[in-house]
Amino acid sequence: MSVQYRAAYRSILRELAKSSIAPRNTRSRDIPQSIRVVFEAHRAQPGADDAKLVRDIGNAVTFVRSQKLHKELLDRYNPMHDMTPQERTRATARRVGLDMPIEGKPEEDDK
């Protein structure tokens, strides 16, 4: 097994661990196991091209890093992107110095 092969394996596991939002003890073990199976299956094939696998894993690492950076940038420059429409309206009103009125419940007619 080449040094690049091991480095690619470790880098994909490292990036997946960094991008996970779940605490370490509650993370699913399925993804790292699946990655290990892919690497072992590739290693078991005679005449397998290590450079292609290393390149593909490098692309996957770049994708995971980019996704993490994209989320950080969205949070920084568009803080209202994950709000509900009601929360977004309330935050927009607050930004210009207004408070939204408390929404009343429709009254039932007693007949």
CA-based max dimension of the chain: 84
Instruction: Give me the pLDDT at residue 26, please.
Output: 85
Task: For residues 89 and 111, give the distance between their C-alpha atoms in angstroms, rounded to a whole number.
Answer: 36
Higher pLDDT, 103 or 47: 47
Residue-wise pLDDT for 66-88, tens only, equals 999 999 998 889 888 888 888 88
pTM: 0.69
Task: For residues 62 and 64, give the distance between their C-alpha atoms in angstroms, rounded to a whole number.
Answer: 6
Residue-wise pLDDT for 23-59, tens only, equals 888 888 888 899 999 988 988 888 778 888 889 999 9
| Nearest alpha-carbon partner for 15 in 38, 39, 31 | 31
